[in-house]
Structure 1
Amino acid sequence: MKSEKLKINVAQRILNLSNDKLLKKISDILDEENIIGYDGEGNPVSHEEYISDIKSALKQFKEGTLETYTSDEVRQRILGK
């Protein structure tokens, strides 16, 4: 089955569901597979992981423990100057 036909078939089946437990499972699977980007090593990052990382960084920032760099420090790290 081609991708577009498969999408339509799955969407129609989901729309006909009334089982909340099964709908929740489908939602969880889609959330886990929702890749929104990649990290520095090329590993996929899900929406959930991204939000978790942001919350962690904000917490560290508020606590004063977040490691940050000035523009010059970043430039030196990238360019080696």
Structure 2
Amino acid sequence: MKTETLKINVAQRILSISDNRLLEKIKNLLDKENVFAYDMEGNPITESDYIKNLDLVNKEIDNGTAKLHTTKDVFKHIADDNKLAL
């Protein structure tokens, strides 16, 4: 089935649903699968994965186990990787 035909078919089926519980499941599935960004290798990052990663980093910060970097350290790393003078 072509993408446009599939979209129309799915949209028509969703519009005919009156069960709130089912609509919530569809909404949650779409939210979970929503591509929010891409990582450095071009792999998609969903919004839910992004939030999970932020929660993990926040816990590490709260526990004092997070490895943090200053802006100067980041610039130095980028400059070194690209053989640039800083």
Please, what TM-score do these two structures have when normalized by structure 1?
0.75
Cα-to-partner distance string for 1:21-64 (whole Å, 9 max, x where unaligned): 54344334323320010112221000100010011111111111
Alpha-carbon RMSD across the aligned residues, in angstroms, is 2.3
Secondary structure of 1:53's match? helix
Please, what TM-score do these two structures have when normalized by structure 2?
0.71
The yes-or-no answer on 1:50 pairing with 2:53 is no
Query: Which structure 1 residue ranges, 5 or more long, are not aligned?
Result: none
Report the count of equivalent residues: 80
The yes-or-no answer on 1:77 pairing with 2:73 is no
Which one-letter code corresponds to 2:31 in the other structure?
D
Query: Which structure 2 residue ranges, 5 or more long, are not aligned?
Result: none
